[in-house]
Amino acid sequence: MAPPGPFAVYPSLRERVVVVTGGASGIGAAMVEAFASNGGRVAFLDLQKEAGEQLVQRLRDTNVHAPVFARCDLTDIAALQDAFAKIDERLGPVEVLINNAGNDSRHSLEEVTPEFWDRTIAVNLKHQFFAAQAVIPGMRRLGRGSIINMSSIAWMIPSTNVPVYVTAKAAIVGMTRTLAHEVGKDNIRVNCILPGAIATERQKQLWFTPEYQAEILAAQALKRLIEPEEVARLALFLAADDSAAITNQNYVIDGGWV
């Protein structure tokens, strides 16, 4: 169980336009709720129509800024670019981008085909670059911005049975570092979060067997599972002006696994 609050609120995030990819469930949904609760004008992209609409309604019922849900296949780069253009028209230039969407479906080395490779790279890496590319012009006009890419400790352990996913997550760290230097002169910051085993509903349903949970807890310094909301709180800090001097960095949140 995560420690109880109260937790920090960031006044600098109020009314800022925030986009979260893969925001309908899991860590992404926790991000959407956290930024909305901090007064941000949040939009999120996801393919999961029902989950996305339910999240919007749940947050509307709690009297926070109701987020804008745009159903989008992020592997369709033209559709992604169109979605960002519409968000800009509706809410204004994006000031915070959370490149969260990904898929860690298990796969063996032997079953990887060129088509599987391309699909896995598309869903875990390619869209992050093009989402950043889409928001950077608006951030330049504003004179500020924060891009937060989601990697994973999977490449640091390293994990097995997910070789293409691990490759993509390692590449995100390199992409973060080069983008930080590309756009730093424009006062745009680019950082990366590397979660460990986070107790999302998907993870609990698909992978968190008693044996795997025991393995996780044996490896971690903290003997509890890490919750999605804890990842979201790190993202809030990296998006807020409190971290205005921080860029080009990678932040592990894994309970002390690596």
Whether pTM exceeds 0.85: yes
Report if residue 124 sits inside a domain.
yes
Q: What is the pLDDT of residues 163-222, one digit of tens each?
A: 999 999 999 999 999 999 999 999 999 999 999 999 988 888 877 899 999 999 999 999
Instruction: Residue 73: name the closest of 135, 126, 133 by CA.
Output: 126
Q: What's the token pair of residue 47?
A: 């393919």
CA angle 179, 100, 225 (to 5 degrees): 120
Report if residue 212 sits inside a domain.
no
Marked catalytic residue, from 10, 165, 212, 251: 165
Q: What's the token pair of residue 159?
A: 């994990």
Give the pLDDT score at 206.
Answer: 78
Report if residue 218 sits inside a domain.
no
Q: How many domains does the chain have?
A: 1
Has residue 27 got a pLDDT over 90?
Answer: yes
Q: What is the pLDDT of residues 84-110, one digit of tens each?
A: 999 999 999 999 999 999 999 999 999
CATH of the domain at 157: 3.40.50.720
Rg (CA), the chain: 17
Report if residue 222 sits inside a domain.
no
d(CA 69, CA 49): 9
Report if residue 6 sits inside a domain.
no
State the DSSP H helix or E strand holding residue 24, giving kind and residue range, or none if neither.
none
- Is 212 among the residues known to form the active site? no
Report if residue 213 sits inside a domain.
no
Report if residue 141 sits inside a domain.
yes
Query: Range of 141's domain?
Result: 11-197+227-252
Report if residue 130 sits inside a domain.
yes
d(CA 97, CA 138): 11
